[in-house]
Amino acid sequence: MRNCAEDQVLSPSQEQAVRQQISADAKIQKIDALIRSKVRAGFNGNVLIAQKGVVLYKKSFGLAHFESSSRDSLTIDSKFQLASLSKTFTAVATLKLVEAGKIKLADSIQRFFPAFPYHGITIENLLSHRSGLPNYAYAFEDSMRTNFYKFEKPYPNNADIMRWFATVNPTPQRYNVPGRTFSYSNTNYCVLAAIIEKVTGQPFDQFARKNIFEPLGMKNTWVATTRNDSINQYRTAGYQWNRRIPKDYYDDVVGDKGVYSTVGDLFRWYRALNGDCLIRKSLLTEAFMPRSFERKGNRNYGYGFRMYVDNQNQPEYIYHTGWWKGYNSIFWFSPKDDFVIILLGNRFNRTVYQVRELLEVLHGHPSNAEAESGEVDV
């Protein structure tokens, strides 16, 4: 696969011309003032903001670890858990299999997992959060989880969650008719990762590394599980409520979360999404198409990407947020004005999601977007 993230690197003369065109120096001063106000409000993390291929702002603020025994400062290469921002990679990984003809958007879950108890759900339903599936993190009774793993490993993975659903058929009263409405559920992307593993015969982390991370030169990005958790250089820890959050029972379930990355690698991701080598452009356009109009409003969802739509229901902004065990993140870009805002934090702070003033600086005029970019999602 051609590296379309590299294709978009500007020459020095091109960068100088763009900097003048977009009034880069004036924007940098305003961006710095806005980011430092977030730091004063408690933001601890890394920031990268770029427009038309020019990195306007790239800085670190705070600590990677807060304990006195391991207290160290963040660097620009620090790696953060992306939380639900990981779903963008799972969506593209799924679409790569669609493009290769190995799965179809209309395929049911039962094609891959015949014993899965909920019927009528397609790959497309999973991608767009229209399956109606209950969230796996809340669907199983604590006593059942304990009994299920009494003589087994302590942490379930995606295949285990699929086996649980087939064995227990939990909470049917919380299940909605597929396709009826948008209902955000991490189970959708847990199931997609399980399907990817079933179709390819590879663990999800290996498939993502070989087909997305390595071809795009994302050397500081990986999917962390107990089995694949040895890449610890510049790794951060997550903090919330003034304490470090330990490993979670569901940390080995991936697809809905689990990707660690840096602001630099996410800038590569942004450039790849704007290129023409990741997957064919028409298929990526499908991912950026709004698919939820039950409720009037500007927020919508495509295949693995949130969006803020204009009055013609076209995506004005494309983004995803994330929150998981102290980490919170935002990846927000404008197709029209070609800019991207990336904030990764490892001490939960809601200012990560507040981007309206940054949008106004980058556009050079007031933005119609709300002060807060999107609801916090796991």
**Average pLDDT for the chain:** 90
Over the stretch 53-110, which tens digit does the pLDDT of each residue have? 999 999 999 999 999 999 999 999 999 999 999 999 999 999 999 999 999 999 999 9
Which residue carries 């569901």 as its tokens? 250
Residue pair 218/180 in contact (Cβ under 8 Å)? The answer is no
- H or E stretch covering 56: strand 54-61
pLDDT range class, residue 378, cuts 50, 70, 90: very low
Q: Provide the pLDDT for residue 235.
A: 92
Residue 179 lies in a domain: no
Q: Provide the pLDDT for residue 14.
A: 92
Q: What letter represents residue 237's amino acid?
A: A
Over the stretch 271-282, which tens digit does the pLDDT of each residue have? 999 887 889 999
Q: Provide the pLDDT for residue 371.
A: 44
* Maximal C-alpha separation, the chain: 65
Q: Provide the pLDDT for residue 8.
A: 74
d(CA 375, CA 378): 10
Residue 131 lies in a domain: no
Residue 294 lies in a domain: yes
d(CA 238, CA 233): 15
Over the stretch 251-298, which tens digit does the pLDDT of each residue have? 999 999 999 999 999 999 999 998 878 899 999 999 999 999 887 788
Pairing outcome for strands 306-309 and 63-65: unpaired
Looking at per-residue pLDDT, the higher value among 376 and 257 belongs to 257
Segments forming the whole domain that contains residue 228: 4-102+203-363
Tally of domains within the chain: 1
Residue 154 lies in a domain: no
Over the stretch 338-367, which tens digit does the pLDDT of each residue have? 999 999 999 999 999 999 999 999 998 776
Over the stretch 147-206, which tens digit does the pLDDT of each residue have? 655 545 678 999 999 998 998 877 655 568 899 999 999 999 999 999 999 999 999 999
Residue 149 lies in a domain: no
CATH code for position 84: 3.40.710.10
Q: Provide the pLDDT for residue 176.
A: 80
Residue 253 lies in a domain: yes
Whether pLDDT at 142 is above 70: no
Residue pair 255/187 in contact (Cβ under 8 Å)? The answer is no
Phi, psi (degrees; rounded to nearest 5) at 165: -60, -45
How far from the centroid of its chain's Cα atoms is residue 38's Cα? 22
Q: Provide the pLDDT for residue 24.
A: 96
Residue 110 lies in a domain: no
